[in-house]
Amino acid sequence: MSVFKTKSWLYLRNPRGGVEDLDRMQAAGFEGVFCNIGDHTPDEWQTIRGRAGARGMFCGPWARTATAQNTFDPAILDRIIACAEAWESPLIVNPESEIQGTGTDATGLIAERCAGLDAAIAPEPVPFDNVGWWPCKEMPTLPQIRAENVPSLEWIINQWHAYGIDCVYPTFSSWGGDTPGDFPLNAPYGVYTGDDMGGNYAAWSPREFSYQGCIDGGGGIDVTVIGSQDGIAAMCNRLRDLDPAGTLLKKDASGKWPKDLSSLEGVPIDQWKAYDKAQRALRILCQDHDAQASL
């Protein structure tokens, strides 16, 4: 199941733009981030990636696909894909006005090179009528929605379906004066950008979890949400008490284990001990379960 169909996420523009507090992002209901590798190298995002991994959040690349002359650049597409493969992550391709008038040339190339990956496209709000969108039929499409577009949001979503796109999930705007109150924050959705939120991620938290982005409605069965009372950390800490050699974590001055795995940032996961890996794996499973249960 694609992350875009089950989770909410933030776009991050600048690795030094005050976007290091992934605890607060996750607490606000954002289960992943996408990093701008168009203006910054992948290596510049190592701190963000480490913090995301320690919390069981996904962290993938995104970039605008335009040259300086505003033409579509396949080389940028290839860099996004190469980065996602290196990071073992989902990815977002951001084609805007540079693909106007290209028919299916750009969209066909995007779909072909992204085949088999958890990849989405993030275009302008309304589909260009001189672009053939159908090659990207099976790629989640994340139209960029400003406050001024909200009155037409249902029409915009229907337009994308009419142009052959199966699944549409909005990218809401946190810049240019747009505020959380301007948008129907019904998960899953993305917000561009985390940099523009001033650290107030909670204001952008989902208010509902009933949005169906795919035209087939998804189907499925009722599933109970586990929620915050999952007992994962408590269980793993009991095991750590019994077998301290099975963890890299250290107790604090009061004799308590850390509340999460954030102190392991920067340590490769293959060097973690058994209880630390188990806590991370169980948290990911719980988050994925609850995201699916909320659909």
Q: What is the dihedral of CA 38, 41, 42, 44, to 10 degrees?
A: -130
The predicted structure's pLDDT at residue 222: 54
Kindly state whether residue 210 falls inside one of the protein's structural domains. Answer: no
Tell me: do 196 and 236 sit in the same domain.
no
Kindly state whether residue 196 falls inside one of the protein's structural domains. Answer: yes
Kindly state whether residue 213 falls inside one of the protein's structural domains. Answer: no
The predicted structure's pLDDT at residue 292: 65
Summarised one tens digit per residue, pLDDT across range 6-42 is 999 999 999 988 899 999 999 999 999 999 999 999 9
- On average, the pLDDT of the chain sits at 92
Summarised one tens digit per residue, pLDDT across range 217-263 is 444 445 677 887 889 999 999 999 999 999 999 999 999 999 889 89
Average pLDDT of 199-227? 80
Kindly state whether residue 223 falls inside one of the protein's structural domains. Answer: no
Average pLDDT of 51-72? 96
Whichever domain contains 110, its CATH number is 3.20.20.80
Say how many domains are in the chain.
2
Backbone phi and psi for residue 255, each to the nearest 5 degrees, phi listed first: 85, 20
Kindly state whether residue 227 falls inside one of the protein's structural domains. Answer: no
Tell me: do 148 and 13 sit in the same domain.
yes
Kindly state whether residue 78 falls inside one of the protein's structural domains. Answer: yes
Structure tokens at 241: 């008490």
- pTM assigned to the model: 0.74
Kindly state whether residue 68 falls inside one of the protein's structural domains. Answer: yes
Summarised one tens digit per residue, pLDDT across range 131-149 is 999 999 999 999 999 999 9
The predicted structure's pLDDT at residue 220: 43
**Sign of the dihedral through C-alpha 115, 62, 27, 257:** positive
Tell me: do 248 and 192 sit in the same domain.
no
Contact between residue 38 and residue 76 where contact means Cβ atoms under 8 Å apart: yes
pLDDT grade for 208, boundaries at 50, 70 and 90: very high
Summarised one tens digit per residue, pLDDT across range 178-195 is 999 999 999 999 999 999
Tell me: do 138 and 253 sit in the same domain.
no
Summarised one tens digit per residue, pLDDT across range 99-114 is 999 999 999 999 999 9
Average pLDDT of 48-71? 96
Kindly state whether residue 209 falls inside one of the protein's structural domains. Answer: no
Beta strand residue intervals within the chain, DSSP E: 8-12, 30-36, 58-64, 91-94, 119-121, 144-145, 171-173, 190-192
Tell me: do 146 and 265 sit in the same domain.
no
Tell me: do 48 and 183 sit in the same domain.
yes
Side chain identity, residue 264 = L
Q: How far apart are the C-alpha atoms of 32 and 14, rounded to whole Å?
A: 16
Residue 169: domain span: 3-204
Tell me: do 114 and 257 sit in the same domain.
no
In the chain, alpha helices (H)? 22-27, 46-54, 74-87, 105-114, 153-162, 232-242, 274-293
The predicted structure's pLDDT at residue 287: 82
